[in-house]
Amino acid sequence: MGIQVFGTPVSRGVAIGRAVLVASSRVDVAHYFVPADRLEHEINRLRNARDAVAAELEALQRDMPGDAPGELSALLDVHLMLLHDETLSGATKVWILERHYNAEWALSAQLEVLARQFDEMEDEYLRERKADVEQVVERLLRFLSRKGGDGAAPPLAGAVTGARDFAGEDPLVLVANDVAPADMMQFKRSVFTGFVTDVGGKNSHTAIVARSMDIPAVVGAREASRLIRQDDWLVIDGDAGIVIVNPSPIVLEEYRFRQRQSELERARLHRLRHTPAVTLDGQAVELLANIELPGDAAGAVEAGAVGVGLFRSEFLFMNRNGDLPDEEEQFEAYRDAVVAMQGLPVTIRTVDIGADKPLDRGGAQESRHEHALNPALGLRAIRWSLSEPGMFRQQLRAILRASAFGKVRILVPMVAHLNEIRLTLDALARARQQLDDNGRPYGPVEVGAMIEIPAAAVMIERFLAHFDFVSIGTNDLIQYTLAIDRADEAVSHLYDPWHPAVLSLIAQTIARANARGRGVSVCGEMAGDPAFTDLLLAMGLRSFSMHPARIASIKQRVLRADTRRLEAALDKVLGAEDPAAEAARRFSQPS
């Protein structure tokens, strides 16, 4: 039946396709398909790169001082030989001609093949030559990215785009040791139909972006990138967290059947998108969207979202080679999202930089981050913003200005201290003052706090005195309550949303906010997981924010729920030894 690799399922469904192995350090290499009439040109790019690197190496050899060690010259000889070797240059050409990969992608695909061959060599000396091939490929890639290989600017790094106009194309799935959230964004509008990574937990930001792409994904599959070879056929079972390598025809047929079934189910759910989310007993429920970029807003409306409950603005700051968006650029991005939502509210979270989303910028902040002993507990989110008051006010001004175009709400991540609340509200008052001074228009904006640190949930009453609404970030609330790094697959089995301590903090936050008449929403992954819909409804939640792709399934649960019956069972579930089992027993819905 083929080798099976087990990991953590993070995004549902079945994907079947050929493996594209990408080394983590090369994820930011451009990946795109070359149309048939440009293949010759692409081969020329590769040839130009090879000639330029050969000239570079020869010049190095020529200019080497007389007293340089002889090994150095011998090493350059090895590099020159590798550069011209058929297993590198000939085979790379084949990837271009047969697969229509661009030169960079073809080179990294062939490097993966060669690196594995070297790893398997008995002889230690030969095994160590892998580093030489890597260095030669690095030189070629550097040349290609510098010049586009032909003087033309290369397409967006990492993006897999382009015409697929050649016959016999196979679907592709990405296999990598790890993919950073920023790189994942590059793949967002790509052709990959599934993802497998060796590391990562279910609620890492990488997993969250995979879910927002609504394609099957398995993370934490430990040995996957070692066991899987370039071009292997893979089945990704995103429900069970299994990857099957080179499946037998019978297994493949079974999974193709399941794939068709889930497509039919998707089409059925899609028909619910304009149905209002109202429970059987008449309770209206607000289903909002989580987005990462303004371009996601149109998909949110299309999926039937009644607003954006979480715009993760930090993604605007990624993949920019150190060039951060200024006030104008941010304003345009926020305004575009607001306009695309056609009058529906947009909740913009101030940047949540740090932890697994480091800022893409040279200089002091980045090095401070790199040296953080535990970034998840370090300078992250509002702590980062308050340490950069100029940038914080710039973002606040941009958000305020976007509010002249529609309903905007500001959401502040990771607040724990009352002092942070005071400083945030002061910064906002100054940003408003600056806009007034410059005659810039802005509208009324509600301000809310994310409740994602246990301290905030415990003192929710005091938070409610300062904010118009709160949004519960269950991903971090679970991480910080249980002291489990959400991105670390080694402890992912302990990451438990059903833990009684977590449930009690969520229930208490919802109840107190409702009692005070303040808006309360959940925007963590629990909101988009149908396993928790009844529980959250029972707790009194009437606002859920999730990836647009999850809205239809959650709506289906809401339409079948009777909140009176759910509320009556809540205490038993919260007080149970095993809340998950108790909830399954007491909340079961007619299917």
Catalytic residue numbers, as ranges: 205, 523
Q: Among ligand PEP, Mg ion, none, what binds residue 481 when CB lies within 5 to 8 Å by partner kind?
A: none
CB closer to ligand PEP, 470 vs 523:
523
Residue window 516-545: x/- pattern of binding to Mg ion, with contact defined by CB under 5 A: ------------------------------
The single-letter code of the amino acid at 117 is Q
Q: Which is nearer to ligand PEP, 114 or 527 (CB)?
A: 527
Nearest Cα neighbor of 245 from 254, 236, 253, 258 is 236
| Residue 523 touches which member of ligand PEP, Mg ion, none, C-beta under 5-8 Å by kind | ligand PEP
For position 476 contacting Mg ion by CB under 5 A, the verdict is yes
Asked if 216 interacts with ligand PEP (CB under 6 A), we say: no
Residue 497 CB, shortest distance to ligand PEP, in Å, is 11
* Residue 186 near residue 156, CB atoms below 8 Å: yes
H or E stretch including 22?
strand 14-22
d(CA 531, CA 329): 39
Report how far residue 131's alpha carbon sits from residue 396's, in angstroms, rounded to the nearest whole number.
Answer: 47
Give φ, ψ of 160 to 5 degrees. -100, 105
User: What single-letter DSSP state applies at residue 33?
Assistant: B
Q: Residue 184 interacts with ligand PEP (CB under 6 A)?
A: no
181 is an interface residue for Mg ion by CB under 5 A: no
| DSSP H stretches of helix in 63-193 | 70-84, 89-99, 103-119, 124-127, 130-147, 181-186
Asked whether position 220 contacts ligand PEP by CB under 6 A, the answer is no
Q: Minimal CA–CA distance to 165: which of 17, 15, 16, 39?
A: 39
Asked if 452 interacts with Mg ion (CB under 5 A), we say: yes
Q: Which of 112, 237, 420, 452 binds ligand PEP (CB under 6 A)?
A: 452
**Contact status: 475 vs ligand PEP (CB under 6 A):** yes
Residue (310 or 427) nearer to ligand PEP, CB: 310
The residue from 93, 99, 202, 312 that contacts ligand PEP (CB under 6 A) is: 312
Which positions from 480 through 539 interact with ligand PEP, judged by CB under 6 A? 523-524
Q: Contacting ligand PEP (CB under 6 A), which of 294, 375, 473, 497?
A: 473
Contact between 134 and 156 (Cβ < 8 Å): no
Nearer to ligand PEP, 104 or 476 (CB): 476
x/- binding map, residues 337-356, to ligand PEP, per CB under 6 A?
---------------x----
Binding site partner of 8, from ligand PEP, Mg ion, none, Cβ cut-off 5-8 A by kind: none
Q: Which of 399, 226, 214, 182 is nearest to 289 (CA)?
A: 214
For residue 508, which amino acid is it?
Q
From CA 538, how far away is CA 526, in angstroms rounded? 14
Task: List C-alpha distances in Å: 197 to 131, 157, 186.
Answer: 23, 19, 16
- 304 sits in the region (left: phi over 0; alpha: psi -120 to 50; else beta) called left
Residue 292 engages Mg ion in binding (rule: CB under 5 A): no
Residues forming the site for Mg ion (CB under 5 A): 452, 473, 476
Residues forming the site for ligand PEP (CB under 6 A): 208, 310, 312, 352, 452, 473-476, 523-524
